[in-house]
């Protein structure tokens, strides 16, 4: 079978790398891919306009693609799954309607209330003046969120009224997030420890994936600006058995049933970003896709077939699939370009180690291959990922790999996994 993975990040490198491990898979195309996917056995990058679904359809038909896996949120929210499925192409990812869970914060907050899913108190506004009046009356800190997709940057934590006003100014007046900021959600600030809960969902069936925890802030000890994620590890002890069951009962099942009642049953990876405190949980957000960087350490632990998992979900036959994990722990450390998550330089030449084995993998993200040279092309450049008998060992192997990769301006957090080790 030939497979097409849509996307170019570390998540997509991991999805394509894992798919290629199946004997039944002869080739995995990655569109547009990165230097890592260009260099990998059985993988081939293909440059197509992913906003033009007809071009993707034609490619799938020409190459006899048996499965399309869509990595990022943008094409899902634009309806790529609906389009390809309507043309008879097996596609793994939610419909445009179901992807609204990530595509619109007002949609998802209203959905949480309607279906009794625990979340932070909030109010939604599409008027600047009304939102200004609202911030006069609330407690601080507070959280101001642009409604639409903003590449992880549309969430502003405000310590006081002045900061909240500045956030509203930047969203409504300066249109810092364009159309995504045509309305806002202003919500209660939640304290606690965050965890990512990611599952494969097919209508009313669910297979939870191994637990994980991301590190959103750019600085060690979780300080500084929020990023797409600076590293992740799996399993995450914060999600113990009790919390696991609570997430399934209070969050995942009501969401799956809610979507069925709305006429848009879910298919794909469903990711709940949670805040956990004193054994209670609240949903911060839903993502309609696998997490990046959570995918990298999670897939390094997956022992059963990713392709069979996606196909079982597409056929609403998850009961027939037995998911298998290694008991080992895994840790992934993001290597980023100086300046990220704000502006950074690209086109830096990378020196790569020859250090990979079955338990150590350097996933590429913002890289490109030019004349056989690997150059940087993004804020998050790599995710150095390793397995170990315990988290500490996985962490030390991941940093060992990090220290062998070099390019001008490379930096990482040195504390990925600290909460799991503590």
Range in contact with ligand GLY (rule: CB under 6 A) among 50-58, 288-296, 363-371, 374-382: 288-296
Number of residues this chain uses to bind ligand GLY (CB under 6 A): 8
Residues 141-170 that bind ligand GLY (CB under 6 A): 152
The stretch near ligand AMP (CB under 6 A) out of 92-100, 189-197, 336-344, 380-388 is 189-197
Of 86-94, 185-193, 230-238, 364-372, the segment contacting ligand AMP by CB under 6 A is 185-193
22 binds, among ligand GLY, ligand AMP, none (CB under 5 to 8 A by kind): none
**Segment 144 to 183, residues that bind ligand AMP, using CB under 6 A:** 145, 155
By the rule CB under 6 A, 212 interacts with ligand GLY: no
* 12 is an interface residue for ligand GLY by CB under 6 A: no
Q: State the minimum distance, in angstroms, from the CB of residue 290 to ligand GLY.
A: 7
Q: How many residues bind ligand AMP (CB under 6 A)?
A: 14
Q: Which span sits near ligand AMP by CB under 6 A: 79-87, 188-196, 245-253, 262-270?
A: 188-196
Q: Does residue 294 bind ligand GLY (CB under 6 A)?
A: yes
- What's the rounded Cα separation, in Å, for the pair 53 and 92? 15
> Which one among 291, 341, 366, 417 touches ligand GLY, defined by CB under 6 A?
291
The tokens describing 300, both together, are 């390094």
CA dist 3 and 63 (Å) reads 9
Q: Look at residue 292 and give the partner it binds from ligand AMP, ligand GLY, none, a contact being a CB closer than 5 to 8 Å depending on partner kind.
A: ligand GLY
Give the distance, in angstroms, between the CA of residue 259 and the centroid of all CA atoms in the same chain. Answer: 20
143 contacts which partner out of ligand GLY, ligand AMP, none, CB within 5 to 8 A by kind? ligand AMP
Contact call for residue 120 and ligand AMP (CB under 6 A): yes
- Closest approach, Cβ 53 to ligand AMP, in A, equals 27
216 binds ligand AMP (CB under 6 A): yes
Binding partner at 229 among ligand AMP, ligand GLY, none, C-beta below 5 to 8 Å by kind: ligand GLY
Q: Which of 40, 57, 73, 187 binds ligand AMP (CB under 6 A)?
A: 187
Q: Does 214 bind ligand GLY (CB under 6 A)?
A: yes
Given ligand GLY, ligand AMP, none, residue 155, with its beta carbon under 5 to 8 Å by kind, binds ligand AMP
Q: What is the three-state SS of the chain?
A: CEEEEEECCHHHHHHHHHHCCCCCCCEEEEEECCHHHHHCCCEEECCCCCCCHHHHHHHHHHCCEEEEEECCHHHHHCCHHHHHHHCCCCEECCCCCCCHHHHCHHHHHHHHHHCCCCECCEEEECCHHHHHHHHHCCCCCEEEEECCCCCCCCEEEECCHHHHHHHHHHHHHCCCCHHHHCCEEEEECCCCEEEEEEEEEECCEEEECCCEEECCEEECCCEEEECCCCEEEECCCCCCHHHHHHHHHHHHHHHHHHHHHCCCCCEEEEEEEEEEECCEEEEEEEECCCCCCCHHHHHHHECCCHHHHHHHHHCCCHHHCCCCECCCEEEEEEEEECCCCCCCCCCCECECCCCCECCEEEEECCEEEECCEEEECCCEEEEEEEEECCHHHHHHHHHHHHCCCECCCEECCCCCCHHHHC
What's the N-to-C CA distance of the chain in angstroms? Answer: 44
Tell me which of ligand GLY, ligand AMP, none is bound by residue 187, counting a contact when its beta carbon lies within the kind-specific cut-off of 5 to 8 angstroms.
ligand AMP
User: Of 126, 124, 127, 122, nearest to 138 (Cα)?
Assistant: 122
Binding ligand GLY (rule: CB under 6 A), the pick from 74, 255, 287, 305 is 287
Applying CB under 6 A, among 15, 143, 146, 394 the residue interacting with ligand AMP is 143
Q: Which of 67, 284, 313, 369 binds ligand AMP (CB under 6 A)?
A: 284
Q: State the residues that interact with ligand GLY by CB under 6 A.
A: 152, 214, 228-229, 287, 291-292, 294
């Amino acid at each position: 079978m030939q497979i097409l993975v849509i996307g170019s990040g570390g998540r997509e490198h991991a999805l394509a790398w894992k798919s290629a491990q199946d004997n039944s898979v002869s080739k995995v195309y990655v569109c547009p891919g990165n230097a890592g996917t260009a260099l990998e056995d059985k993988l081939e990058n293909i440059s197509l306009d992913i906003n033009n679904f007809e071009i993707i359809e034609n490619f799938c038909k020409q190459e006899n693609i048996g499965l399309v896996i869509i990595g990022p949120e943008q094409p899902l929210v634009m309806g790529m799954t609906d389009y390809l499925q309507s043309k008879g192409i097996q596609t793994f990812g939610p419909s445009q309607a179901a992807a609204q869970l990530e595509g619109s914060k007002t949609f998802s907050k209203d959905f949480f209330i309607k279906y009794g899913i625990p979340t932070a108190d909030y109010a939604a506004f599409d008027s600047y003046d009304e939102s200004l009046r609202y911030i006069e009356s609330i407690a601080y800190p507070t959280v101001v969120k642009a409604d639409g997709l903003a590449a992880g940057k549309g969430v502003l934590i405000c310590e006081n009224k002045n900061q909240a006003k500045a956030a509203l100014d930047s969203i409504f007046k300066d249109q810092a997030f364009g159309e995504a900021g045509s309305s806002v959600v202003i919500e209660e600030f939640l304290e606690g420890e965050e965890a990512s809960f990611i599952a494969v969902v097919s209508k009313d069936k669910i297979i939870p994936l191994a637990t994980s925890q991301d590190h959103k802030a750019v600085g060690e000890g979780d300080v500084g600006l929020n990023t797409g994620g600076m590293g992740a590890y799996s399993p995450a002890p914060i999600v113990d058995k009790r919390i696991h069951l609570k997430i399934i009962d209070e969050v995942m099942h009501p969401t799956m049933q809610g979507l069925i009642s709305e006429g848009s049953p879910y298919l794909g990876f469903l990711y709940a970003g949670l805040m956990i405190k004193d054994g209670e949980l609240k949903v911060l957000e839903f993502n309609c896709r696998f997490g990046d960087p959570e995918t990298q350490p999670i897939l390094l632990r997956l022992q059963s077939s990713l392709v069979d998992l996606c196909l079982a979900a597409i056929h609403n036959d998850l009961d027939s699939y037995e998911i298998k994990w290694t008991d080992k722990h895994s840790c992934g450390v993001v290597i980023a370009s100086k300046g990220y998550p704000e502006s950074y330089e690209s086109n830096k030449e990378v020196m790569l180690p020859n250090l990979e084995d079955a338990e150590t993998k350097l996933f590429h993200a913002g890289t490109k291959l030019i004349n056989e040279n690997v150059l940087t092309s993004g804020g998050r450049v790599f995710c150095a990922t390793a397995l170990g008998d315990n988290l500490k060992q996985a962490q030390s192997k991941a940093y060992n790999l990090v220290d062998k990769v070099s390019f001008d301006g490379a930096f990482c957090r040195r504390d990925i996994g600290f909460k799991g080790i503590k």
